[in-house]
Structures are given as structure tokens and as C-alpha cells.
Structure 1
Amino acid sequence: MGDQSPPWPPHLLLVLFLFLATWRAAADAPDDRSALLEFKETTLSPAPSDWGGQDGPCINNVSKWTGVYCDKDGRVSVLRLESMNLSGTLTLDALSELPNLRSLSFSNNSLEGSIPNVTKLPNLKSIYLSMNRFAGEIPDGMFSAMLGLKVLWLSQNNFSGSIPSSLTAPKKLAELRLDGNKFEGQIPALWQPNLQLVNVSFNDLEGPIPERLSNMSASWFEGNKNLCGPPLAVSCESPKKNLSPALLVVVIVISVAALVAIVGATTFLFRRRKKEATTVNKLRSVKPETTVHLEADGMGLGTVRYHEGEKKVPKEEKLLFVGERRGTFGLQDLLRASAEVLGSGNFGSSYKAILLDGPSVVVKRFKEMNGVGREYFQEHMRRLGRLSHPNLLPLVAYYYRKEEKLLISDYIPNGSLAHMLYGNRTSRTSPLDWPTRLKIIKGVARGLAYLYEELPMLTVPHGHLKSSNVLLDLSFEPILTDYALAPVMNKAHASELMVAYKSPECAQHGKPSTKSDVWSLGILMLEILTGRFPANHLRPGRAGTDLAKWVSSVIREEWTGEVFDGTMKGTRNSEGEMLKLLRIAMACCETDVRRRCEMAAALERIEELKERESDAEFSSSAISEGEAFYSSKALTDDDFSSPKN
């Protein structure tokens, strides 16, 4: 027998097999760039000018193309092409090659034709097609396979025919907007437990409203002549037979008698109330009744003014609850409660109301929301009510009136981060040591990252992140407040008052970016590390990055620790970790939005930080971090543009 090559060892064959399998899987992986370019050529008109080139839409998790958002795996997860004057028909076939795509929005364009075929994208969680020119009937089974669909907005189009019965299939459906179309027939038997918004107003629908929707706003069903049942004040039961002449006479007699009785009762009550009013006026001169009015204007810090009498709330004006404590108290309870003014800020005044039966709550009265319509305001409040995270202060209830808006939340007794940093300057030490400050920063970053994940439709998911809007509970866990209010603020006031709108890109170009909240987070981290109030470093006509510039100048001259708050204790063997955090903060404060780090990247690096290093680690780590920070290159390190692999 001739020479034979020795057989390959089994373990080498296994390694080779795994390598080839991995290479083949990578070669066969869908190409997000090719899919989007095909979509651009076949559908988008006009197309975004920055779609193309050698680079793909995502560099790690950083988006490089307009309207494209990337997940932590560096794949396209959201397409938001709103208000771009797009026209023509919408074909989604090419997008089926995007396996991680979860959200589509083409709202407020001029797209036309029939509804795009979303059956090829069964993993979508949200679809926004409102305010276009789509028309025609929607296939009844279109949504049968979209079991994870949470949001579907088709309002203000020209859809006709029946509402698809397959909308009962998505188990997690939370928002459905079909208003302003030409749908006819009955509303499907929607049952989903997470349903918060179903708006079918101004169509041609008929029949009873499903029981699951009976507790929703009646305005969401108006404009349909033949709908009946709660929440509409239209009964679904109507007489089926004509009345006989004899019965008609009886009905008329009874009606006349009832009318006479009503007139008599009204006259009696009017005279009685007039008499009671005279008596009350006499009693008031002896012993007036006092009730706190939360809506009083011109209150300064301190105790609340008291007003004579009790303000009556019209029946149609009431608190609307969005959380679990539904209906536990009402507006009248707030007006009766004793209260104290907590503060008066740019948005309005805040009050602590001590309820007679229940815990204390905080009432914030907003004076810069007067241009927001009732329906849009209510929808946004319900969206905020569905948010749930340990580092967010939950919205309990709200009150809407054209002239004023009230937001009610729980009272947090430990006060704000700003109060802890600056409230007691008579002490030589701060109550916030390094471990506590690191804990606060981690909690703030987690809450902000959650807002980015849950509110991808907002350019600035928080919009007003600053130390006075970070509350601390009794264990110093941070709780974010005043978040996601930009959509219901007047644009002029948002630009003037909200922190994210003071980012460098707003100063340069007049509008925020999706990284404006990241800039706010960077400034907040520098504030926590340095103990310096950011406003003290602002200069007239300059964007609010001067605290970052001050830090940079101190580091370049003497990096040893002059930058850190001198009242901060618990820093032994922690300088290396503190300098790491300082680098992260500076990456978040990068003036160039393209070089500023992503929210996910900032959170990942913050989570890696420790309270302190061991003695063996400390010396070399602190020196290396200091030397890295001392070099100008470290201040603009591109590593912060994406998480580590």
C-alpha cells in the first residue's frame, strides 16, 4: 500500500468545522447597508442625502445615517423618517433583510397608495404611519402574525372598509390610533390587558363599543354617528315597536306632569339656596372657613396663603390617574389638603400636599404648556404613566385645563441632589462621599438609558436633566423627575428653559439632537465630581460647556486631583476610578455631536466603575489614568463612541 497522509486529529477537525460554520454564518448574515440602499432606491423620494458611501448605517451601535437608529449589536433597530416630505408608495420588502428592526415611523409625509405590507416584518413592535395619504381597505389578516406589536398609529389617512379583526392577535397591544379615516362596521373585540389608548374617532363605525374599551375617553369614539355604549352616553337599546295611540297619550300626560314637578322643585330650591346664602354671609362675619388653594398665584417660598371659603371644582374637571393608585383621591381632596410651597422654578411652582387620608404628594403646576391640546396632552401623559423603572419618579395623576396643567407624583422626603451638594455649605464635609456619588451616577445613567429605550420617538427622552431634578430617597438612590416633557412644552419655552436645549448643538444650529441628553448627563457627572454649580461657569452668549472646559484646563495644568470636590470623603484608593469617570463625563461633553459618546456606551463604562481599588492596583492605575487624561488625545478618545465588544 502507498503512503497515506496521517488522519487529522479529531479536535483539529472540530475546530476547522466551527471556523467554517462561523465564517459561513457571517457571510450569510443579512447586510443592513445593502437592505437600506435597496429600500432607498425602490421607495424613498426624496432620499436622505447621507445614505450611502463606504460605511454602513451603524458603526458598532452608533448611527451614521439620518433616521436610522442602531441597537447594542450594531444592527438597525429603528427607522424614523418623519416629516421629510416623502411621497409615492411605500414598499417594505427590502426591510425584511433587517432582522433586528423593531420600529418604523413614516408619520407626517405625503405617502399614498394602500397600506404597506407589514406581514414581512412580523417582529415589529411599533408602526407609525399617521398623517399621510394612504387609502383603501386593510387586509383582515394583516396583523395575525405580529404577536409582539405594541403600537399602531394609522390616524389621519383615507383608509376605508372594516377594521381588521386580526388586531385582536397582538397580545401586547397598548396603543391603537385609527382616527380620522373612513373605517366602517363594528370595532373588533379588542381584549388586550395592556391597552391604554384606542382612538377610532371620526370614522363611520357602528354598533356597541367593546367592553374592554368602556373606561376610555369618550372623545376617542366621537364622530361616529352609530356607535353606542360606554364610554359614550348613547344606549345600545332602542324601542323596536311604534307606540299605540292610547299609550302615546299616557306618555304625554306623564311627561307634562313631570315637567310641572321639575319646574316646581326648581323654584323651591332656588328660594331655599337664596335664603341659605344670606345665612352663610352672616356667619362668615363671625367665623370664616379656610381652605388652601394650590392654584394661587404669586406665592413665595415658605407657608401657603389661606383663602376664605372652599373652591368648588366643576364636575367635568377632575384628576386623571395613570398609575396603580387609580382614584384614591380627587382634585377636591388636593384643594382641601394642607400644603406648603417646595419651590418655584422655570416651569412653575411645586407644592407638597398632605392628604387627609393617604400619603403626601407633590403637585407641580406648569405655566408653559398652554398651547398643548387636550387629546395630545392626555395621550402623552398615559405614555408616561406606563413607564416603570426604579430610577424614575412615577407619574400618579394629572389635571388638564387650557389655562393650566398639574402633574401629581409621590413626595420624596430626602430632597434633591442639588440640595445635598449645595444646601449646607456651613459644613466642611459633604454628606455625599465618593461611593454615594458613584451610586447616584449609576442610577441616573440607568434611568436615562431606560428613557432612551422606551421613548425612541423623542429626540430628547429626558430634556431637563439637572441636579435639582434628581431626587434622592432615604438610601440615596437617585430618582429622575421632569422627564419627557418636551413634547407638551411650547417650543419657544422649551428652547429657553430646558437643559438639553442649551447643548452646544442648540447654540450652534438651533435644535437639539438625540445626544443632547448625553451632554446633560456629562455636565451632571462633572457637577457631582467637582461640587461646582454649572451655571456659575456659564458666560454670556456661550453654550453651557464651560464647566467641561474648566475641568479640561485644570487637568492639563495639574491632573493630581485639584478638580475634585474637596468636601468629598471616602476617596482613598479611588482616584483611578474617579479619573475614569471624569474621562467618561468629558466624552459625554464633547462639543461635536458626531464624536460625543452614545448613551449605551456611557452606561456600559459607568457600570464598570468600582468604589475603590486594592492597594496594589491603586498606584499604577491612578498614574496611568492621570497620564492618559493629561494628554489631549485622551479627551477626544473615539473609544467612547460605542460600547466595547
Structure 2
Amino acid sequence: MGVRAAPMSVRNAVSSAMAPRGRFLMTTLLVVIVLLQGVPFALQAASTDSDALLKFKQSIVDPKNALSSWGGSTTPCAVGSDKANWAGVKCAGETVWGLQLESMGLSGRINVDSLMGLSALRSFSVMNNQFDGPMPNIAKLGMLKSVYLSNNKFSGQIADNAFANMLSLKKLHLAGNGFTGGIPSSLTNLPKLIDLRLEGNQFTGTIPEFKQKDLQEFNVSSNDLDGLIPSSLVKMNSSSFSGNKALCGLPLNPCADAPPEPPGEKSSHLNIIIPVVVVFVVALIAGLITCILRHKRKSTSVEDPPVQSNLQKKSSFQEATDGRPGARSPENSSHGRRAENMKLSFVRDNREKFDLQDLLKASAEILGSGCFGSSYKAALLGGPAMVVKRFRQMNNVGREDFQEHMRRLGRLSHPNLLPLVAYYYRKEEKLLVYDYVESGSLAVYLHSNHTRDEPSLDWPTRLKIVKGITRGLSYLYNELPSLIAPHGHLKSSNVLLGDSFKPLLNDYALIPVLNLENARDLLLAYKSPEYLQQDRITKKTDVWSLGIIILEILTGKLPVSTPQHMQSNAEDGLAIWVRSTMEAGDSVLDKEMKTTASNENEINKLLRVALACCEPDVEKRPDIKEAMEQIEEVREKDGDDEFYSMRSTRAIVDEIGIQEKNDVTM
């Protein structure tokens, strides 16, 4: 849109005006012209995100038409809210901060230059697609915090300095591609990096020394790496390095040969080593002679060497006893303070007592690594199987406050909570001991491939699970009124299924003892809309998590690809998808739930409750009491009043042991 030239009479007046009044008129006219010329630029700035995304779309192949919502008369982000109009777009304040284009069948090349127009872009994910070619030059997007390129067809070497300028990068996932060459050394200096996934590629050479102190997730398994594992990574789980035949050192097997010495240093080292060896041999001979003489003087009992437990062989769990590999058991040391330190602190009086040494002797296996550490199954001799969880980020409070919080959790008792049995305290790390649940988690039942022995979950079972989760969460709200988010990390992988599919909440009430920085990075409560928008969590934050998990149960869809791929507000994508799909008149329900005409209304009723719990506006979201009352009113099928007509929701609440407390603020 151009600006018309000023009329001749005006130009003459301006050019002929020599007085101050004339200069004022000329200045005013120039200001008006500049303002008029600025209008097109303002409009252009408003459409920058749209232009950048449409240009990006042109460079990729979209056979499933997954990005059909891009373009037209809409903008990527809705006006006046954080909601997105375009698929896979994440918005904040009408600007695009994230792209989550996962599992869409997209292919082609990533046009990074087009994304440089997204000034607020902080998260970029194209996982589980068909993109190929070399590593995209994402360094041009220097403000990215999260990059997820896993499970595509990228290949070739990555330049050593590819990530040198990405000082804000916290999470990088490149797993399941065909990358070759060495691991870029520029990754080792990124100050904020906490999560690096490189497994399933063809990386070669040695692993560089990573300098980050807060690196939490690291995986280079199934590559072609060799050499000694750097000292900065020895505390990682051994599975992080599996599938690399030539790797050695902790936490894997020791290296067969010591690294060769530089030629110039060999002779000087020999001058030192030879005298030391001679002295050692002489001392050894003297010691043997002394032992023989003592043996003749008195008889001594010969003890069998302590048997190394399966737990010590299969995992690094033994390191918890003293914080370093190769820790000695009490049989090989004095029975003083160390024996006392081996004791577990039990929080339940009705449980048979055992100590840490019993766990070390138990047959054990690694169950996996979560956000905070590793979990182990330990089958006690002649006793039950227990789960031991190691936590390294539990230093938010001192010993006394930690012990008091554990005792507080030990007093909790509810049919839908997995009880804490015991704990072990050390400054560097903590162990929490729970009962082992054979059936596994809700996430496994919802998202794994089912067999005849593991049927899919039908509607009555899913409703039972939803009600159990809600009752357990309500109990936490009432028993832990001082906690803003009494669970804090409610998701399907933290819901175990016991006998008859009874749900058991796990990993609850950990916010008070976890390091605040780690809690903010990892706990689901800190992915809620209120925290992302207002930097706070509320009494309704766990209700938001409840809504997300109910949607997951009803739709059978994961909020994110895997628990390890949590990113800012990614979970909200499921609620957005459900709303948009329902508005389009399409079904969102999991086909394996086997819905019928007799239960359709009740399922939709629960679906509406879940969406209300996921409401981004905290003021519009129900509190836990309201949510529970609405969920308890949902029945297995329409018109099924035989049970519900005889009992009110209040009666159900009383039956499961949840008592209202006047000091609870929802």
C-alpha cells in the first residue's frame, strides 16, 4: 500500500514556508508520511509467523495432508489466547513458541532458514516421520531449548561445531537415525544440556568428556563407539551404553588393556615402576612368612568369601551403600557406624523388617530409568519382591525434614495408593522401597501391543480405573493439605494396575523433597498451563493432570511420544486435539474400548468432565471435590440406576475413607 504524493499546493506551501510556522507544518507533514508508510510494515510483522510456517510447509512432503489446517484465513495462533489454529503449533501470547509435528508421515528436507522468522520458537519436534538427508543446521535457531529429531532417516556425519552456539539447548533427541562419524564435541560444552539421546545410530570413535554437572538423561546405546567411558558418565545406567561392543569401563566391564603410553614418557615411568614393584614383592614375601608363622601358633577358622549378589552383578545398586563402585559389604568391614548406616528406615510397623544387605543379596533386575533415577526389582530370600528406587535430586531439605516427610507418607493408607514401605538416607542420594506390582503400569496396558493373555481394556474397566485414580488423588488432597500439588507427577506410567485392574498411584508427594530446579524440569505439575503462563502451580494443577490422564484412557493416545520426551505444554496437545476433533464431528474414543449404544452417553459425560479438568483457565477449572463428584456420577451404561439410585456421591466418598477437612483450600 503506497502513500500518495502530497498535492502541488501543499508542496508549494511547504517549500515556500521560511517562517517557524512553515517549518512546523513541514515537520508535521513528514511525521504523517512516516506513520502512513509504517502501516504496511506493522501488518507485515503481524503475519511473520504465518509466512515463516507456510514457507516451511512448502519444503516438506505431506502425503497424509496432516498440515491441511495451515493457511487460509486463519493465523497460526488464536487471537487473545494461547490456543493454536494450526495443527502441531504451540502458541503463547499469539506467537508460535513450539512445533510438534510428530508421527505425521512427513518427509523431505527441513528448511531451517524458513523457521528463522519464528522469533519466539523454543521447541521443535519432528519425531517419528520420514525426513532424510544430513543433519539440519539447527544452530541457526540459537534460542531453541528442545530439539527432537528421533526416528527419521537423517544420515551422514554431524559437524563437530554443529551445536557450538546453542547455549539455551536443554534437550536433544537424535535417536533412531543413521548418523555416522564421531559425537560432536560441541555438545560437551552446552551449559544447560540435561537430556541427550543418540542411541540407534552409527556413531563411531570414543565418547567425549561431558562437562555438564546436571546431565540427567544420556543414551548412546546401539552405536559403534569404542574406548573408555569418560569419568563424567560413569554414574549413568549401564543400558545407556549397551550395544557398543568396544566400549569399556564403568558402568560396563573393565577395559582389558590400559591405554598405551606416549613413547617419550615410557622410560621415565619405568624408572618409577621398577623400584615400586621390587618393594612390593619384598613386602609380599615378608607378609606371607608372617602369616605362616601365625598360622602355626594358633588355629584360625577359614571363612568362605562373601558371595556376590545378583543385585551387585546386574546393576550399580550397590553403589548406594557408600557412593562409589566396588563398595564392601559389612562382612568385610567393622560392625560399627557402617553397619548402622546399612539399615533401612521403615515407615510401616506392620511390615516384616529387612535391611539393605538383604536387598543386596536378593535376586534382582533393573526395571528401568525414569526422570529421577533407576528402579530395581529385588526378590527377597523367602520373602516378597520389592521395588527400590534411587533418587539423586532429593536435597531440597535436610535429614530431619526429609525423615519427617517420609514418616508422613508412611501414615498414608488408601486402596488406590502404592504404599511407601521404607527409605534409606544418604546426603548424595536416597532409596525409596515399595511393594512390587506384577501387572505393570496403566501406560503399558493402554499403549502396548496386546496378546491373548493381556486383553485391551474395555469401558467398565477404564471407568473403574478412572474412579480409582480420582479417589486416590482426592485422598492425597485431604491428607496433605499443606501441599499445593499433593501428587505433582500424575501420569499413566505412574499408575500401576493391581489385582482386578485396581489402580495404584505411585511417585506422589515428592515436590517438597526434590531439588526445585529438577522438579521444575521434570515433574508434570510444572508443565501445566498456569505454570507456563504465570510461573506458578495451584491447588487445581493436579486436577489438570487428572483431566489429561482421563483423556489418555478414553482415547488411547499418549499426550507425548514417550515419558522421556516431555516438553513444555506438550501434554496440552491431547486436549486440543480432542476438542478440535469433537468440533469436527469425529470420534476421539479408543476403538479397543468397545463402546455400545447403551454406554455412549456415559462415556461422553466422562469426556466432558475430563475436558473441564483440562481447562487452561484455572478459574474455570473444577476443584478436586467437584471433579470427583462429577466422575462418581458416571455409570457403566445409560439408565443403570440400580446401584446409584441407592447411594449418593457423599456416601461413596465416606466409604472410601475420604473425610473433608475445613483447612483444605482447593
Task: Tell me how far apart the structure 2 counterparts of residues 22 and 520 of structure 1 sit (CA, whole Å).
Answer: 36
Work out the CA distance in 1 between the residues paired with 2:71 and 2:51: 9
Contact 2:209–2:230 (CA under 8 A) maintained in structure 1 = yes
| 1:305 matched to 2:354 | no
Q: 2:69 matched to which residue of 1?
A: 50
**Match runs of 1:92-107 below 5 Å:** 92-107=112-127
Matched, 1:168 2:215: no
Listed one character per residue, the Cα deviations across residues 269-319 of structure 1 (whole Å, up to 9, x for unaligned) are 89xxxxxxxxxxxxxxxxxxxx9988xxxxxxxx86344777932465443
1:235 to 232, 242, 255: 255
CA contact (8 A) 2:418 2:505 kept: no
Structure 1's 462 and 102: CA in aligned 2 closer, same or farther, altered over 3 A?
farther
Deviation at 1:26, TM superposition (A): 2.0
Q: Does 1:321 align with 2:337?
A: no
Kindly indicate whether residue 23 of structure 2 is the aligned counterpart of residue 7 of structure 1.
Answer: yes
Aligned equivalents of 1:314, 1:292: Cα separation in 2: 16
Distance 1:532-1:144 versus aligned 2 partners, 3 A rule: closer
2:226 counterpart SS class: strand
Paired residues for 1:456-475 under 5 Å: 465=545
In structure 2, do the counterparts of structure 1 residues 28 and 18 end up closer, same or farther at CA, with 3 Å as the change threshold? same
Deviation string, structure 1 residues 599-638 (Cα, Å, up to 9, x no partner): xxxxxxxxxxxxxxxxxxxxxxxxxxxxxxxxxxxxxxxx
* Secondary structure of the corresponding residue to residue 136 of structure 1: strand
Q: CA deviation at 1:230?
A: 2.8
- 1:510 partner amino acid: L
Secondary structure at 1:107's aligned position in 2? coil
Give me the whole-angstrom Cα distance separating, in 2, the residues matched to 1:215 and 1:181: 23
Secondary structure of the structure 2 residue equivalent to 1:7: helix
- Relative to structure 1, the CA distance from residue 104 to residue 516 in structure 2 (aligned partners, 3 Å threshold; closer, same or farther) is farther
Measured in 2, the distance between the counterparts of 1:366 and 1:324 equals 22
Structure 1 portions without partners, runs of 5+: 242-246, 258-263, 271-290, 295-302, 377-389, 414-443, 456-460, 470-483, 490-498, 543-566, 570-580, 582-645
User: CA separation in 2, counterparts of 1:324 and 1:14?
Assistant: 64
Give the structure 1 partner of residue 163 of structure 2: 143
* Residue 161 (structure 1) shift: 0.8
Matched AA of 1:45: D
**Hey, what's the Cα distance between the residues in 2 that align with 1:400 and 1:231?**
30
Match of 1:349 among 415, 418, 425: 418
1:412–1:166 distance in 2 versus 1, CA, 3 Å: closer
The sequence identity of aligned pairs, in percent, is 29
Aligned partners of 1:200 and 1:445: how far apart in 2?
Answer: 29
Query: In the alignment, what sits opposite 2:629?
Result: 533
1:91 aligns with 2:111: yes
Query: Would the alpha carbon gap of residues 69 and 319 (structure 1) be closer, same or farther in structure 2, given more than 3 Å must change?
Result: same
Match of 2:48 among 1, 10, 31: 31
5 Å matches for 1:390-409? 391-392=484-485, 407=507, 409=509
CA contact (8 A) 2:199 2:220 kept: yes
**Residue identity in the other structure for 2:23:** P
Alignment-derived partner of residue 628 in structure 1: none
One-letter amino acid matched to 1:448: S
Q: Is the 8 A contact 2:396 2:512 kept in 1?
A: no
What letter is aligned with 1:449? P
Q: 1:269 to 1:363 in 2, by over 3 A?
A: closer
Contact 1:112–1:133 (CA<8 Å) still a contact in 2?
Answer: yes
Matched, 1:509 2:588: yes
Deviation sequence 1:44-74 (CA, Å, 0-9, x none): 32242212211121123320111011122x1
C-alpha deviation, 1:135, in angstroms: 1.2
Q: CA deviation at 1:394?
A: 8.7
Say if 1:292 and 1:306, in contact at 8 Å, map to a contact too. no
After superposition, where does 1:444-459 map in structure 2 within 5 Å? 448-449=528-529
Q: Which residue of 1 aligns with 2:271?
A: none
Q: Aligned-residue CA RMSD in angstroms?
A: 5.9
- Counterpart of 2:89 (choices 68, 84, 102) is 68
Are 1:304 and 1:341, in contact at CA under 8 Å, matched by a contact in 2? Answer: no
Give the match's secondary structure for 2:614. helix
The answer on whether the counterparts of 2:615 and 2:621 sit within 8 Å (CA) in structure 1 is no
Q: Secondary structure at the match of 1:38?
A: helix
Name 1:211's counterpart in structure 2.
231
- For 1:172-224, what per-residue CA distance to the aligned partner results, in whole angstroms no more than 9, with x for missing partners? 11111111111011222321233211211111112232322222112111222
Give how far 1:410 is off: 4.8
Say if 1:352 and 1:411, in contact at 8 Å, map to a contact too.
no
Q: CA deviation at 1:322?
A: 4.1
Give, in whole Å, the separation in 1 of the partners of 2:259 and 2:210. Answer: 28
Is contact 1:209–1:230 with CA below 8 Å preserved after alignment?
yes
CA distance in 2, matches of 1:523, 1:365: 38
Are the structure 2 counterparts of residues 353 and 408 from structure 1 closer, same or farther at C-alpha, using a change threshold of 3 Å? farther
Per-residue deviation, 1:153: 0.4
- Structure 2 equivalent of residue 189 of structure 1: 209
Secondary structure of 1:134 counterpart: strand
State how far apart, in whole Å, the 2-side matches of 1:401 and 1:327 are.
28
Which stretch of structure 1 is more off in the superposition, 57-66 or 512-521? 512-521
Change (3 A) 1:232 1:128: same
Change beyond 3 A, Cα 1:402–1:527: closer
Equivalences for residues 100-115 of structure 1 within 5 A = 100-115=120-135
Pairwise mapping of residues 117-128 of structure 1 onto structure 2 (< 5 A)? 117-128=137-148
Q: Distance in 2 between matches of 1:405 and 1:530?
A: 20
Offset, 1:324: 3.5
Check the 8 A contact 1:109/1:131 in 2, yes or no. Answer: yes
SS of residue paired to 1:212: helix
Deviation at 1:169, TM superposition (A): 4.0
Q: Where does 1:546-561 land on structure 2 (aligned, <5 Å)? A: none
CA contact 1:143–1:169 (8 Å) conserved in 2: no
Deviation at 1:523, TM superposition (A): 9.5
Task: Report if the CA contact (8 A) 2:487-2:542 is conserved.
Answer: no
Distance 1:188 1:53 in 2: 48
**1:462 and 1:176, CA in 2 relative to 1: closer, same or farther beyond 3 A?**
farther
CA–CA distance in structure 2, aligned partners of residues 168 and 411 of structure 1: 30
Q: 1:350 offset after TM fit, Å?
A: 3.6
On the 8 A contact 1:161/1:183 being kept in 2, the answer is: yes
DSSP-derived class of the 1:219 partner? helix
Structure 1 pair 205–406 and aligned structure 2 pair: CA distance change class (3 A): same
Task: Name the CA distance, whole Å, in 2 between partners of 1:451 and 1:200.
Answer: 32
Given that 2:421 and 2:435 are in contact with CA atoms closer than 8 Å, whether structure 1 keeps it comes out as no
Deviates more, 1:172-181 or 1:209-218: 209-218
2-side partners of 1:516 and 1:486: how far apart?
24
1:77–1:8 Cα change, 3 Å? same
Identify the residue that residue 198 of structure 1 maps to in structure 2. 218
Q: Residue 463 of structure 1 contacts residue 500 of structure 1 at CA under 8 Å; is this kept in 2?
A: no
User: How many residue pairs were aligned?
Assistant: 423
Query: Structure 1 pair 523/22, CA: closer, same or farther in 2 (3 Å)?
Result: closer
Displacement of 1:108 in angstroms is 1.1
Which segment drifts farther, 307-316 or 33-42?
Answer: 307-316
**Gaps spanning 5+ residues in structure 2: where?**
1-11, 262-276, 289-300, 308-343, 365-375, 377-387, 448-482, 499-503, 514-523, 536-540, 550-558, 565-573, 591-606, 639-660
Are 1:40 and 2:57 matched, yes or no? yes
